[in-house]
Amino acid sequence: MFLRVVLLLLGLAVVASSDGRADSHGTANNPKIAINERLSEADRAMALKAAQTLIDACAPLREYWDDFELTEANMADVWRSEGIGLAESHGWGRMATLTIKVKDRPSVDLIRWRLFGHTVEFLMGGGRIPGVHVQKDAAWHLCNIPFQPELADGYGQYVKTIRTLGFIE
C-alpha cells in the first residue's frame, strides 16, 4: 500500500512538473492559477473568477503566494456542500474550489501556523450566504476565517462570508 501511494505521488509530481503547473503559479503581485481542463468553458471561467475573488478578499493568500508550490481551481458537485452542511445552512449548491500546496519550507508564519507541506482546499459557494470554507484548522489563517461552532450539527466549521462570491452556481 505504501509503495502504491509513493508511486502515485511520484506520478502526480511528474504530471505537475511536465505540464508546468508546479512552477507556473505566478507571484504575489501576479498570481496564476491552474484550472482543471476537464471542466466546461463556463465552469472554468466560474472556477477562475471564484479563485481570483477569494485571493482579492483574503490578503494573507496574496501575501504568502510565494510559499505555494501548486494552485489549482476546480468545481465541486452539490453532494460536497450537502455533506458538510452548507447546502442547508448557507444555501450552497455546487462549489468552486481553490487547492494550494504549501512548500515544505515556507515563511516563518506558515511554519508557526503548522501549514508547511500541507495541501489546503478552499471551498467557495454562492447561495443565501456566499463565502468560503476550509476543513484544516491551520488553514483559517490564510483568509482569517472564523470558527463557527454552531454549524454542522454542533461540530463546527471554519466559514467566512464573502458576498462577492454570490455568483457561484
pTM for this predicted structure: 0.79
Average pLDDT, the chain: 80
Is there a contact between 136 and 118 (Cβ–Cβ < 8 Å)?
yes
Element (H, E) at 79: helix 78-83
Report which DSSP code applies to 163: G
Report which DSSP code applies to 51: H
Report which DSSP code applies to 140: G
Range in 21-35, 50-64, 86-100, 143-157 the model is least confident about: 21-35
Grouping H, G, I as helix, E, B as strand and the rest as coil, residue 155 is coil
21-66 pLDDT, tens digit per residue, is 334 566 656 678 999 999 999 999 999 999 999 999 998 988 899 9
Angle 140-77-15 from CA coordinates, rounded to 5°: 75
Whether the pLDDT of residue 151 is over 80: the answer is no
4-21 pLDDT, tens digit per residue, is 433 333 333 333 333 333
**CA distances to 39, 73, 110, 139 from 59, in Å:** 28, 18, 14, 14
